[in-house]
Amino acid sequence: MDFKKRAKELVSKMTLEEKMGQMKYNAPAIPRLGIPAYNWWNEALHGVARSGTATVFPQAIGMAASFNDQLMEEVATAISDEARAKYNEYKTFGDTQIYQGLTLWSPNINIFRDPRWGRGHETYGEDPYLTGRMGSAFVRGLQGYDPVYRKTDATLKHFAVHSGPEGLRHGFNAEVDQKDLYETYLSAFRYCIDHAHPAAVMGAYNRVNGEACCASPTLMEILRGEFGFDGYYVSDCGAIRDIDMFHKLAASPDESAAMAANAGCDLNCGDAYVYLQVAYEKGLVSEEVITRSVERLMEARLRLGMFDDGCPYDSITMDVVESPEHIALNREMARQSMVLLKNDGILPLKGGETIAVIGPNADSQSILLGNYNGTPSQYTTLLRGIQEASSGKVNYARGCHLYKDDEPGSCGEHPYREAVLAAKRSDVVILCMGLDPTMEGEQGDAFNGDGSGDKVDLELPACQKVLYEEIIKTGKPVIFVNVSGSCISLVRQDEECAAVLQCFYPGAEGGHALADILFGKASPSGRLPVTFYRSADDLPDFTDYSMEGRTYRFFKGSPLYPFGFGLSYTSFTENWLDDKTVEVTNTGSMDSWHTVLQIRDTPYPTLIGFTKVWVKAGETVTAVVKQN
């Protein structure tokens, strides 16, 4: 079926005004051509987002920690099933509104170059190759495998060189040399285009070397010319107006709209393209440019089967949403996303201990969900998961607020003492601390207005530090569960706690998954997709986009936990038969997943291959490590 030809024929019947309308994210209907209204904006970062009930998988950074791109593809397939099912129902109303369509503005494949960036937990970490592999798996799962139609559209974002600071993003100029541009910031985009053929790319807010990303001739030539991208390009929301309002590269909104359209930005999230008519009347943009973009957009809608009967994905029903199969998959991904950073032998727990579960993240729903999330109709907090799995007594105390102290002399709760009493009555303490999505996230979403969603340092909040001191003083063994989407300085925890476990934001099944790890139902197998530094003092200035001194590839200091680090309850040996084939032997007593990482050491450490294998205790499996 020639969708390009059909798109050209359809667009040829539109007036110029009708064509311009189709370049807005909330495209109006054209009844005389049988084209219903369509809202292009939908999100699916780790589950169908902002559209009611959905399976909420671990946040992207957690799924990256699994180092399991096959499992990632299964997760994305489940997400696209749920998105299709919802669309199939929503379209019966005659149109689709925001968060109801098939065009999913995910995944975020920006490089998490600095742990202070608030949106880093939306990404797959600091390594371009890991990001490319996980991103490609996600795109394939979203778009499906039918030879004719796409199930949903995946959108790579944000193109390009975009990773904070959030507070400056609308006018920021990221200055980067060609080496860092291609080897780090563009690498995952090229990989995904080569290996997964995403339908769309979203432009970033910032400038790169002086050019606004949504109107950059240089970036567009790289994307379409060098990388061979053949899909449609959408602006981030409001980014085109940034060109005149903050970048000061245009004198008016019609000039901004013309600059973006001429460069090849096909779809506008925002209101800039309402000025296309003015730009056309001034001679700033031609009808040929408009037609080119609308043909790309109509081709996409045709490939999604929006105007055809008999699209195979039309039969997907709402029965898939939060199905037992998706819930089980969610729990497995959550287990594989958790990273054991220290264990003096206290884990796994036996199950009959008296346990104190303490901390502001212990019974929090927010830490399960991350951001850009859906709403699970059933979920298990860390506390509930432990309570369900333990055969002994579980004492719970919140201990403190997540980030603020009680006001002196107030009538509010003073929970430190309750936490100390709970610890003293218990054999072991599981201390659930860290951050939540209100403390790190996108500008405007997080409460920390001073940082616009970014972190100012890598420290735990002061009130949590006070609670930590009080619990350590009890002398009870502490299992420290850090919940965050990014690196937190855990220097003291590494020195003083019996075990340290990084949870990221683990999804609706997070409590069950954590309990599976703590009580030995599953062996931990996650690996860090980012470096855990000791302090923000170890890092260059946040606004410096040179990769020098950043990430495991270029950091010259001594990290607390390096990229790729993660412990297990069992032990493995690797016997390399050649440069791609390895025998993995489980020399311990527990069946477990094992991640094989292949890192080239020169001219600087670089991940060039990985695979994840299931190995039963005492057995050997032969694995081929994927390297491209």
Contacts of 183 (CB under 8 A, 6+ apart): 128
E strand or H helix at 619, and its extent? Answer: none
* pLDDT computed for residue 406 by the predictor: 64
d(CA 253, CA 531): 42
Let me know if 292 is exposed, middle or buried by CB neighbors in 10 A (0-12, 13-18, 19+).
middle
Please check whether residue 223 is in contact with residue 215, taking contact to mean a CB–CB distance below 8 angstroms: no
E strand or H helix at 585, and its extent? Answer: strand 581-586
Structure tokens at 264: 């090849």
* pLDDT computed for residue 447 by the predictor: 63
120 — alpha (psi -120 to 50), left (phi > 0) or beta?
A: alpha
The DSSP output letter for 209 is T
Q: Is 353 a catalytic residue?
A: no
Structure tokens at 387: 């309570």
pLDDT in tens, 124-162: 999 999 999 999 999 999 999 999 999 999 999 999 999
The DSSP output letter for 91 is G
Q: How many residues does the chain have?
A: 628
* pLDDT computed for residue 376 by the predictor: 97
Query: Which residues share a beta bridge with 333?
Result: none
Contacts of 602 (CB under 8 A, 6+ apart): none
Q: Identify the active-site residue in 81, 153, 211, 236.
A: 236
d(CA 500, CA 523): 14
Q: In what order do the strands lie in the sheet with 200-203?
A: 103-104, 153-159, 200-203, 232-235
Q: Identify the active-site residue in 440, 454, 509, 516.
A: 440
Flag residues of the chain having pLDDT under 50: none
E strand or H helix at 334, and its extent? Answer: helix 324-337
* pLDDT computed for residue 405 by the predictor: 80
Residue 557 neighbours by CB distance under 10 Å: 12
d(CA 234, CA 156): 10
